[in-house]
Structures are given as C-alpha cells and as structure tokens.
Amino acid sequence: MEIKKISKEQFDRLFEIQEKHPVLTLENKGYEYIRTPFGEETKKAVQEISEILKVHILGFSSFTNFRHSIKTKELQLRFDYNYNYDGGPSFIGVGYITVRELMNGFD
C-alpha cells in the first residue's frame, strides 16, 4: 500500500467524523458490513472521508467503516483499494490503516 500523508487537520477531522457518526464504526469479524442506507448527514460524512482517502491512498476505491485495531486499539479505516493501481490487471481488495499511520506513515 502506498500513501501520501494526511495533515494534522485531516487527522483531527477523521476523528471528529467518527465521533459524530458512530454508525460508521463496526468492529467487524470477517465479512460483516455496516447496515445502510444512511441519513443525509452520514452520507456527506462518508463522502468527506472518501475525498480524503482518494487523495492519500493510491488506488483507493471505497470507504467501508471505522474500527479499532485488534492489536493496538487505535482507530483504523477499513476500505477497498486496487492492489494494482500502478498497472496490470485490476484487483480490488480490502485494506486497513490506522489514522495515525495515515498521518505519520509506516514508521
């Protein structure tokens, strides 16, 4: 996975969205998904998240949900992205990244 780091403002905004829209948080086990449809405000929040991720995760396809890392308990983003975004046959799969990793990189 290749990312472009988000700003501190975007980092804070993702936490704000998650707190304001708890329906977007799912501690999924396997192939569970959030129940939809969403209300208008939540749809706008998903769109805002998607706009951030589209710029910062190369090959980003769609946002799925927030969750907390099993190992670290940090806030994670679950999303779909094209593993072969830089060429070759398209393969869309699931990815996870903590909001902290999205801001600081994979250090």
Give the pLDDT score at 101.
96
Residue 90 CB contacts under 8 Å (≥ 6 apart), including other chains = 82, 84
36-57: average pLDDT:
95
72-101: average pLDDT:
92
Give the pLDDT score at 20.
97
34-54: average pLDDT:
93
